[in-house]
Amino acid sequence: MQADVQIPSVPPIVASFADLAPRYDLVLCDVWGVLHNGVVGSQPAADALKRARDAGTTVILVSNAPRPAEGVARILDGFRIPRDAYDAIVTSGMVTNALLAARPGVKMWHLGPERDLGIYDGLDLTQTSFEAAELIVCTGLFDDTVETPEDYAATLKAARARNLPFICANPDIVVERGGDLIWCAGAIAEAYAELGGDVVFCGKPHRPIYETAFATASKLRGEPVDPARAIAIGDALRTDLAGALGFGIDCLFVAAGIHAGELGLENGSQVDPGALGRLLADGPGRPAAVTTRLVW
């Protein structure tokens, strides 16, 4: 007689955010993978955040985008995500900017596309060649439509030989763009760390971006926010879930994002508990709940 196949225990799978929302005073919501997929915006997700705000919850968008908050807001405008869906935006670009502000006059080499140069606004620094640099700041690949991290192997070896510090302004490994997975700065940073390079990660899942988000929320609310009354919403186990667990707050995992392929959700199906259990078994821990997409 064949033994029963054991399905790993999984968190509650919820159809909407409406039942969870009253438990929380603060929502820290991911952007790419929840509010848009790089091609189209999610109006249901925006509506869910707006309804939470209408009920008194503070909504802070927490993004690993290597750019200022206003830059992310303009991108969301293009995806028709209304500004009344959130109270503020905190980005890894803001954390990076603050880190560089503490090193006035530094000679740095920018590794990433020109669209991210706004990250250096207002800073006293010198952008220079790789050969003259004292520091590398990586916001991504120069051309993420054709390049892979392997294209930077020789550059990273040369940087490691000079012991150049490396600031990663976007710890994401990949993001979804219209169903395709696109390499991000985190993949290059991880490769440099594997060589023994000195890497500072400025976004999720690391604490500084959560500390900034909580400080922002506390200022908006006029009082400190109890971590027990805060929830992160995101689609990436490595950044959103790991970051929330590491900071001691709940997480609502959005399944139809970066892990949709692993969960068999490409064609609009619902979360399969068996596939979810297998995915979470290899992840950083257990979210408070799981939903297919963020809706009210």
Please state the three-class secondary structure of 170-211 as a single string.
Answer: CCCCEEEECCEEEECHHHHHHHHHHCCCCEEECCCCCHHHHH
pLDDT in tens, 212-265: 999 999 999 999 999 999 999 999 999 999 999 999 999 999 999 889 888 888
Q: How far apart are CA 19 and CA 242, in angstroms?
A: 23
Lowest-confidence segment of 35-49, 153-167, 259-273 by average pLDDT: 259-273
Neighbours of 1 (CB within 10 A): 3
At 27, which helix (H) or strand (E)? strand 26-29
For residue 1, pLDDT over 60 is answered with no
Q: What's the rounded mean pLDDT across residues 93-111?
A: 95
Q: What's the rounded mean pLDDT across residues 4-18?
A: 79
pLDDT in tens, 126-148: 999 999 999 999 999 999 889 99
Q: How far apart are CA 126 and CA 229, in angstroms?
A: 43
For residue 6, pLDDT over 80 is answered with no
pLDDT of 2 reads 44
pLDDT of 267 reads 64
Q: What mean pLDDT value characterizes the chain?
A: 93
Q: What confidence category does residue 11 fall into, taking pLDDT thresholds of 50, 70 and 90? A: very high
Are residues 125 and 105 in contact, defined by beta-carbon separation less than 8 angstroms? yes
Are residues 258 and 264 in contact, defined by beta-carbon separation less than 8 angstroms? no
Question: Which residue, among 17, 90, 79, has the nearest Cα to 54 in the 3D structure?
Answer: 17
Q: How many CA atoms, within 13 angstroms, populate the side-chain half-sphere of residue 162?
A: 15
Q: How far apart are CA 106 and CA 100, in angstroms?
A: 8
Higher pLDDT, 265 or 279: 279
Are residues 204 and 33 in contact, defined by beta-carbon separation less than 8 angstroms? no
- Going 83 to 85 to 91 to 97, the CA torsion angle's sign is positive
Token digits for 199? 């890497």
- Read off φ and ψ for residue 130, nearest 5 degrees: -60, -40
Question: Which residue, among 200, 195, 196, has the nearest Cα to 185 in the 3D structure?
Answer: 200
For residue 178, pLDDT over 80 is answered with no
Higher pLDDT, 136 or 4: 136
Q: What's the rounded mean pLDDT across residues 68-73?
A: 93
Q: What confidence category does residue 268 fall into, taking pLDDT thresholds of 50, 70 and 90? A: low
Token digits for 20? 């969870």
Q: What confidence category does residue 55 fall into, taking pLDDT thresholds of 50, 70 and 90? A: very high
What is the gyration radius of the CA atoms in the chain, in angstroms?
A: 19
pLDDT of 233 reads 98
Q: Which residues contact 26 (CB under 8 A, 6 or more apart)?
A: 57, 58, 59, 60, 214, 217, 221, 225, 229, 230, 231
How far is residue 168 CA from its own chain's centroid? Answer: 13
